[in-house]
């Protein structure tokens, strides 16, 4: 089955700097890679996702890149703001099959003002 590893477990950056979180996956059949942001006391919120037919996707200050050959994908946040502070989870699955979805362990991002 799929196994997702996420690094780093904690990340601290200064406001305005960029943050990068990396995930690797094991199942080459995985083709859907969502990223979630979880703020304190709330459930995970989908912030961006990428499918395997795309190498990069961007939404304002957030971008995700996917390297299918190396089986890794990354979340990039530019111009970080204190409100970006949260736990971020990556996940990998085969579209249409929730049972195969595996989450990373999470990265606690702290943006210092």
Smaller CB distance to another protein: residue 13 or 27?
Answer: 27
Smaller CB distance to another protein: residue 4 or 111?
Answer: 4
**Cα 7 to chain center, whole Å?**
10
Footprint of another protein (CB under 8 A): 31-32, 34, 36, 41-46, 49, 51, 89, 91, 93-99, 101-106
Residue owning tokens 């961007």? 58
**Cα 69 to chain center, whole Å?**
18
Q: What angle do CA 87, 90, 93 make, to 5 degrees?
A: 150
CB of 38 to another protein, least distance (A): 8
6: its two tokens:
């996420």
CB of 25 to another protein, least distance (A): 13
Which residues on neighbouring strands pair with residue 105, listed in sequence order? none
CB of 56 to another protein, least distance (A): 18
Could you tell me which residues come within 8 angstroms of residue 103 by beta carbon, excluding any fewer than 6 positions away?
4, 89, 90, 91
CB of 58 to another protein, least distance (A): 16
Smaller CB distance to another protein: residue 25 or 104?
Answer: 104
Smaller CB distance to another protein: residue 80 or 93?
Answer: 93
């Amino acid at each position: 089955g799929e196994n997702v590893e996420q690094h780093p477990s904690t990340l601290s950056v200064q406001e305005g700097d960029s943050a990068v979180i990396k995930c690797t996956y094991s199942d080459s059949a995985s083709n859907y890679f969502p990223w979630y942001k979880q703020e304190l006391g709330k459930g995970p919120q989908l912030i961006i996702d990428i499918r395997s037919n795309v190498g990069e996707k961007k939404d304002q200050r957030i971008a995700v890149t996917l390297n299918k050959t190396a089986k890794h994908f990354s979340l990039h946040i530019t111009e970080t703001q204190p409100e970006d502070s949260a736990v971020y989870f990556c996940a990998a699955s085969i579209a249409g099959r929730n049972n195969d979805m595996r989450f990373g362990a999470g990265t606690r991002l702290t943006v210092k003002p």
